[in-house]
Amino acid sequence: MSGTLAGASSFPHPDDDPVLGDIVVSQEALERRLAELGAQITADYAGRAPLLVCVLKGAVLFMADLARHIRLPVELDFMAVSSYGTATKTSGVVRIVKDLDIDLGGRDVIVVEDIVDSGLTLNYLLKNLAARNPASLAVCALLLKEGQQKVEPDLAYVGFRIANTFIVGYGLDVAERYRNLRDIRTYIGSDGDDS
């Protein structure tokens, strides 16, 4: 029996993958910024136990690493919201695919999001969560695409501000691929999207 999983295809090194472009955020920059964000949240929520709400699937790696940098008791919950499908551009139609398990009433909630571009999905999500009566509601976004917001987002914490380009890695994908890259890179391939 070989060490290769049945059905697994070879996955080229990111530097050799023709659909991947330049590194936008390096692994080292991610690690530094996560430590800073964790320290800031620890100071801001001193004496409290925030509930981190991960927006699946893109933010799962970010939340896992961020939680380890927060020096407070935290709880984790997960929510899946869809506006992309398998395309590289948002459809503008938001739907909840998986809802939370924990009651938000009276809780200090931090929504952990991978990327904010138009802001429409996040705006929908925040209105939905605010109606559940949390004690406080804040957003920690790993990435903010500059100049793309149709709705001005209220972001308490932002990891990096980036240009308007399609990116993958560190949780971000195209058709479920590239989430496991250790850095964030531009995506220059074609996924069949003609727009």
CATH of the domain at 182: 3.40.50.2020
- Which of 7-16, 118-127, 152-161 is the least confident region? 7-16
Range name among 10-19, 58-67, 90-99, 186-195 with the lowest pLDDT average: 186-195
The strand order across the sheet containing 157-162 reads 95-98, 75-82, 51-56, 108-116, 136-145, 157-162
Residue 48 counted as domain residue: yes
* 9: in domain: no
Q: 192 pLDDT exceeds 50?
A: no
Q: Tell me which residues are annotated as active site.
A: 117
133-165 pLDDT tens trace: 999 999 999 999 987 777 667 899 999 999 999
pLDDT for 71 beyond 90: yes
Continuous H helices in 9-78: 27-44, 60-69
pLDDT at 9: 55
Query: Is 8 part of a structural domain of the chain?
Result: no
Is 6 within the bounds of a domain? no
Residue 14 lies in a domain: no
State pTM to two decimals.
0.86
Phi, psi of 91 (to 5 degrees): -80, -20
Residue 191, domain member (yes or no): no
Residue 58 lies in a domain: yes
In the block, tokens 């080229």 appear at 12
**Domain total in the chain:** 1
Q: What is the dihedral of CA 87, 173, 39, 103, to 10 degrees?
A: 60
pLDDT value at residue 191: 47
Res 152: pLDDT: 67
Contact (CB, 8 A) for 107 and 134: yes
pLDDT > 50? residue 181: yes
> Which residues form the domain of 103?
20-186
